[in-house]
Structure 1
């Protein structure tokens, strides 16, 4: 299993790095993809992160799951990338796992991927999750789509991804390891 998490300037660092940390603890390969022309990405709270690969160099056919962290203006920057939109749509058509947390489910809504799907998001982004059947739950899965409400749901969000890519036992083991 191989995953990509997309980080544009202004991403929410905890939503991204908690997911990376927990998936790696579960022995799931995950690459941080910089949306910049360089590996360095600046988070919404001015934390510099060095990504594994630049967006322009990545081969997206090899990923089993694509993950979108929230944060502003990170979400806006992700949504503005037309090539990323095309990749997300193709991934959705193939029934592969798409995951978005906080403000980022709005990107899936904008693309029509959430039409008729149960989802959750940060409360101020509800009106941007076009077509979604919205829930107040912290984490919602509908088919191949996993959404999380915000930073406070990042651990559960990551564990839902682990559960899908491996199994519930592995997700529970990771939770025990971090004393959750």
Structure 2
């Protein structure tokens, strides 16, 4: 049965491979991927600091509801989650998604949005190393592992971890987030 996955991003600053690789994994597994952003139009992806491709937005986060989706993927890049965490509607969407128990997958710098949504108390997560103090200050336990699953949260450190991250996202669609770490 096909599931619907929201990929939430800001208008620019998305690390391209952290959007395109999970997107491909989700669609290759027969599920529907939906690009959700804070603005209509297109988003600008980056290959580290160099401009990459653009992608059309399917729906704005203001018109999206948690109930419309089976999972949420939060790609990284430094500027993308930094912009998202200053958008109250995006932060509320993330907070509500985590509270729903549906899988939420965040890679690299994307756990900044989980910090802002105040959903990390007592949770074990990983991220890009520079976020570890923010995660700890938010009540989370930061670990340096390629893939960490804690309840419905799936986190990875960086693009090198994409094979494990993508596998966990697809597994969570089939069997729930907790199964992604098994």
Work out the CA distance in 2 between the residues paired with 1:159 and 1:107. Answer: 22
Work out the CA distance in 2 between the residues paired with 1:86 and 1:134. Answer: 23
Match of 1:36 among 34, 39, 54: 39
Q: CA RMSD in A?
A: 1.7
Work out the CA distance in 2 between the residues paired with 1:93 and 1:58. Answer: 16
Shift of 1:54: 3.1
Shift of 1:73: 0.9
Work out the CA distance in 2 between the residues paired with 1:60 and 1:93. Answer: 10
Contact 2:16 2:53 survives alignment (8 Å) = no
Q: Equivalent residue for 2:55?
A: 50
Contact 1:33 1:51 survives alignment (8 Å) = no
- List structure 1 runs of 4+ shifted beyond 3 angstroms: 56-60
SS of 2:149's partner is: strand
Could you tell which deviates more after superposition, 90-99 or 136-145? Answer: 90-99
Work out the CA distance in 2 between the residues paired with 1:7 and 1:101. Answer: 12
Cα distance change on mapping 1:60 and 1:53 into 2, 3 Å: farther
Compare the two structures and name the one with the higher strand fraction.
2
Q: TM-score, normalised by structure 2?
A: 0.85
Q: TM-score, normalised by structure 1?
A: 0.86
Match of 1:10 among 13, 22, 40: 13
Q: Equivalent residue for 2:96?
A: 90
Work out the CA distance in 2 between the residues paired with 1:118 and 1:78. Answer: 22
Contact 1:34 1:51 survives alignment (8 Å) = no
Q: Equivalent residue for 2:26?
A: 23
Match of 1:155 among 163, 166, 169: 163
Q: Equivalent residue for 2:123?
A: 117
Shift of 1:60: 3.6
SS of 2:51's partner is: coil
Q: Which runs of 5+ in 1 are unaligned?
A: 169-180
Work out the CA distance in 1 between the residues paired with 2:17 and 2:101. Answer: 27
Asked whether 1:138 is paired with 2:141, we answer no
